[in-house]
Structure formats: C-alpha cells, structure tokens
C-alpha cells in the first residue's frame, strides 16, 4: 500500500497513515484504509491492531486541495470509500487501539472514533469535526460512528458548531480515553493492545458486534447505497472551490 504502512510486532498489526504533510484523505488513501481493515478481518492472523499517523498529524480529514479537482464520478467514489473506511474500521473483529499522535480533524476524527481505545499524545493538537464550517455533509457511516461514540451533548457541539478541542479537553469530554507522552505513545498503545488481545478472540468479536450492531447495520446500508442520502450532489461545486481556504482559516 502506498499511504498505509503495515508493521507486525509479535501478533500486533500497526497501521501507520503516511501521506505527508498531514495524512489528509484523498480517494486512494481512503480506499487503502478500508482495504487494510478488510484484510485484518479476512486474514485472522493479528490478535490486535494499532492505528496511528506519521509526522505531526494523525489525520487532517479530507484533502480539500484535491476535492476541487474531482468530478462527480470521483466524488461518488470518495463518498463510497469514506463509508467503507468507517464501516470496516468500526467493525474490525479484533481490538483496535488508536495512537492519536497529532491533529485529528473531520474524517480523521471519525477514523479515531472507530478505534476501541483511544490514546492521545500529550502534545499540542486539535481534534474536532469541521464539516459544518466547510460545507461538507456527513457520509452516513461516518455520522453513525460519531453518534454512537460521543455523548449527545459533545456530538452536538462538535457536529453542529464545528468546535475543535485540545487533547486534555477531549479527554474530559470522553472523546479520548487517556493520554501518553508523544515519545511513549506507541509503547503505551502496544501495552494496551497486548492486554486487549488476551480476551478470547471469538468472544471479543461477538460482543463487539453485539455492542455496535445497530450502528453497523446502518453503516453497511450506507456502503450498499441503501442508507446513504448523499448519492447525488454530495458536495456543491461552489463549496468545493471555497472549502480549502475556509478550513485553513478556521482549523485553529
């Protein structure tokens, strides 16, 4: 894969997002992430997984420099890829530990929420959902993950008002589970992954599915197209031309 680096330590699979400078999501990277999680579910060789980013960002969300160049067919391909990414990550049958090394914005925030345990680096960063600011409606699977993982008040604050939070505030809001020094982030994630992998695999898979069944059913409907209301005209052409500058102006 070009933008997702795979590393195996014992039976722990480490997936590192690597698309500098901010690991932003274009079509290819989004499809690679979905493929990576589908592979983990299919192969059954890893006992747990860690998801992290390369550089100073975990994932800055959609690449808003690329979107203005996409035609309608490419936008629909990206929409499908986002729904697949959220669904396959959220449904992964093994424990998935998020090692959030830096900014987690928009689609990157959603990807972090797909993890079963979220460890954020003790470093200056922003985490939030900026879609409302840049005129990008939520793909159905992404919104299902956010709705399922966040307290309703926190979800409302982030989704409707596009608020960004620092790491400490995000932990207090229940977005992330714990923090670790940046230099020890992967070490702590590996420890948590090993602990989680001690659960009987079939029991973990079954109980995780039970816990997330309603959300995953809606996510899978979105992937099939039956539950996705944004099949046509996902991003207005006028919004495509202005969203990049708006995002950079409001990200902080």
Domain ranges of the chain: 4-183
Q: So what's the pLDDT on residue 248?
A: 46
How far apart CA 49 and CA 97 sit, in angstroms, is: 6
How far apart CA 102 and CA 171 sit, in angstroms, is: 14
Cβ atoms within 10 A of the Cβ of 174, count?
12
Q: So what's the pLDDT on residue 175?
A: 98
Cβ atoms within 10 A of the Cβ of 236, count?
13
CATH, range 4-183:
3.90.226.10
Q: Tens of pLDDT along the chain (252 residues)? A: 799 999 999 999 999 999 999 999 999 999 999 999 999 999 889 999 999 999 999 999 999 899 889 999 999 999 999 999 999 999 999 999 999 999 999 999 999 999 999 999 999 999 999 999 988 899 999 999 999 999 999 999 999 999 999 999 999 999 999 999 999 999 999 999 999 999 999 999 999 999 999 999 999 999 999 999 987 778 876 666 544 444 444 444
Q: Which helix (H) or strand (E) holds 160?
A: helix 152-161
């Amino acid at each position: 894969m070009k933008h997702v680096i795979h590393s195996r330590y014992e039976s722990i699979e480490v997936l590192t997002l690597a698309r500098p400078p901010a690991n932003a999501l274009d079509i290819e990277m989004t499809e690679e992430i979905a493929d990576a999680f589908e592979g983990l579910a299919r192969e059954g060789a890893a006992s747990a997984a860690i998801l992290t980013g390369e550089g100073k960002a975990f994932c800055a969300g959609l690449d808003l420099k690329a979107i203005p160049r996409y035609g309608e067919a490419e936008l629909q391909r990206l929409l499908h890829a986002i729904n697949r990414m959220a669904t396959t990550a959220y449904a992964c049958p093994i424990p998935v530990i998020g090692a959030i090394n830096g900014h987690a914005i928009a689609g990157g925030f959603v990807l972090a929420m797909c993890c079963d345990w979220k460890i954020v680096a003790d470093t200056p960063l922003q985490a939030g959902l900026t879609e409302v600011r840049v005129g990008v409606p939520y793909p159905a699977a992404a919104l299902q993950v956010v709705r399922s993982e966040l307290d309703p008040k926190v979800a409302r604050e982030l989704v409707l008002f596009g608020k960004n939070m620092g790491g400490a505030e995000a932990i207090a809001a229940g977005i992330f589970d714990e923090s670790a020094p940046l230099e020890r982030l992967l070490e702590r994630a590996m420890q948590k992954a090993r602990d989680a992998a001690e659960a009987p695999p079939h029991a973990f898979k079954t109980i995780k599915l039970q816990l997330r069944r309603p959300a995953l059913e809606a996510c899978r409907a979105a992937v099939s197209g039956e539950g996705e209301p944004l099949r046509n005209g996902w991003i207005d052409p006028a919004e495509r031309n202005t969203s990049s500058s708006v995002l950079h102006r409001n990200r902080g």
